[in-house]
Structure 1
Amino acid sequence: MNFPSGSCKLRPGMRIILTLAAAVAVAPVWAATEVPVWHTLKGHNAEAFQSLVRAYNSSQSNVKVVERAFDTPEALDQALGSAAKSKNLPALAQIGDSHTLKDVAQRSYVQPFYALQKSSALKNTRWFVSSDNAFIHDARGRLMAFPYMLEIPVMYYNQDAFKQARLVPAVPQRTWMELQGQLVTLANNGSRKCPLTSDLPVSINLENLAAVNNQLYASADNGLKAKGLPSFSFDSTYVRHLSLMISWVRSEIMVRPDAGTKSISRFAQGECAVLMSSSGHIGEFLTRRSLRYAVSGLPYYPEVTRKPGNPFISGAGLWVMKSEKSVTDATVAFLGWLSQPEQAARWYQQTGFLPLTQAAFDATPSSYYAKLGQWRDLVAVYSNKAALTAQGFRIHNYPAIRTRFQKILDSALSGQQPAVTALNAASAEANRLVRQP
């Protein structure tokens, strides 16, 4: 609109119209509901999760997922305690089951995941892991958390190292004694510095020594019975096994297990021929172009069981925090999106965590497994009903017990005490801690 020079006066009606137009121009756009997610994912797996978060945030405008990474589970747990006091909790938090479950489930600020499963976003989802598995399930088989970071221990092997040693077949044997012979050959033919290593000494040498040999880990059906406190009694199988491991370290066909990340890095860089560790490293190892590897099951003792059993599930889930309804609804929408076949299959294939849903497993092509050895078969069994010895365990005070087991095993593998002495001390201390408040 043009006005005569020197004349800028507006009629009253025009002033009102322009004022309203200006008001409309600066009116705020309603912000998306934020869903804070706290996690302890590292490296490749953290990047895979961040990629999914970005994809979700770009796919719609109603919800904005904001992720925050912590260095350790302990740091995250401490932050949760502070956030609960200040009433500034995240919507979701990655927390390990710790084989006690109640320690997390009874927190006042946590709500069980199964209470949200009737929502339209999650209603028809068929979860992959069988409901009789105790990990992240309550006694009635209900999911207490979103089962997103579940993993199992496996045996990784460097295919180039096996070929260089001229081992036929060029795969690790599934019995401990036959594996010993292969490790000697590997040590003498290119893998002297690191024939075998692990970052899971307690899992491999105690917990899953029981499960893979189809034995109970603790009494009272691994603590899953409602009545009676479980107890530990490490028999001759454990004594024999730990004695064997001590001899392997002494003869340098096994690098003494390290609970840190050193052994993972050494295998990833091609230094170690065999690694016993969690399946959650599969995706990371796939990104190493110079590393040709595959996956096998943990070894067993044929004198104890004719057929190896399945190891315990470990890892963590995304626990839902109590929030106002709008945040809970937004959280459910995000979890429903993660559960869709495309996203769930992508997460499984990129990480090595167990499939979130049956659809994710079914959507994974055979080409994915072509270079991964036994990985598909090792995974498939977890959708079926689990044997009692593989359902998991529930032990009061288990984080403290595991810490003591770690120190005692380290002492034995360092040659400071014989196997029988170490195991007697381990069972005595564990049985004392089980009965502490």
Structure 2
Amino acid sequence: MTRSRLALRADLLDFTADPGWSAPDAAPGVRWRPDHWLLVEDGKILGAEPAGVFTPGADWQTEDHRGRLLLPGFIDTHVHSPQLDVIASFGTELLDWLNTYTFPAELRHADPVVAGQGAETFLDALLSHGTTTAVVFPTVHRTSADALLSGAHRRGMRLIAGKVLMDRHAPDGLRDDVVGAERDSRELIHQWHGTGRLSYAMTVRFAPTSTPEQLAMAGRLMREVPGLYMQTHVAENRAEVAWVAELFPEARSYLDVYHRAGLLNERAVLAHGIWLDDADRQLLADTGAQIAHSPSSNLFLGSGLCAWPELEAAGARVTLASDVGGGTSLSMLRTLADAYKVQAMRGVKLTAWKALHGATLGAAQALGLDHEIGSLDAGRTADLALWDWAHGPVAQHRDGRARKVHERVFAWMTLGDERNLAATWVAGHAIFRRPGSEP
């Protein structure tokens, strides 16, 4: 059988460990390999060799991208596929924004045609922004989850998603019930969980839109089905936190609502996590659940500033997420640039190393997928993104002035976006190329 062999020449950047909050020049775990060949065979990374001492043979398909930056594909740990319809909507905080923009947009995805077209647009948009793995909310409609998972499977993507659960405090057409939600969830799990590179997530919209009975059902399935993920929102907005306290007076905190339902474990992904206390942070650490920090959304909706260092100091895990449409872009570069601003407002300086780790290896580790994705280690699936260092005269001028690697990478992260992306590979297959970016 003929093997598929691909050799990509570029500047390679990935991580072998968490750089932490160290100064840029002292950060551990940064693996910087300028002008190397990355070798891919049958969709898996074989290794890397310096271009000056290694030349691929005639049995390799070669692409010479010297002067460009090659990273693992980004991992977005919290994003809503139907919300591209309402990205960049003006003027409200979370709860009003849901009722004014989000819920009406999601109602349209009951139509299989709308759901299918929406899933295709969303998945192609992820790939054209350099994101190859995502943890995704579709809508409450089974057809929306089917379309999303089916589309990701056809593209060979690593995706985690599931039908949204909402049986109260939502408009007609966006509510399910416990019996129907369990039936749909079981059938979707049977069809998609473990199919190709897909995993299913019990997807609780947020505590106010699920009854205790629905939360208990989700927890029961989490215990019953090996490898299920759970995704939801927690402590994003102060009014939301107050509402949860009224609805669940028996719970110690918003996070405790999920804990009581058996929804917190090492595969639980909770978006935002802004208004948490020390006991909550310890509970996250004890259960292994992660916070999907969504800085662009938190800034845009005025929700607050995530205490990333404090979460990690308690032993909790933090990853990066675009959120869309509460966020303002699917670009993880723009998301990371906003994460820097959020931490700067709190008196903390976020290095490019720490930010990029949280959207690559750190996210893969938090999801239990670092054996497959998140780095350029041998044996990993070749989910890759190739970037131009600079786009446009201002960024090109700044790039030319950079003297140290971190200075250059930080400027790329801060000034860059999807226009810098030259190509994306999923399992070694080029699935996106910017016109005119061929080697």
TM-score range, shorter chain: under 0.3
TM-score using structure 1 length: 0.25
TM-score using structure 2 length: 0.25
Greater RCO structure (CA 8 Å; 6+ sep): 1
**Larger % of strand: which?**
2
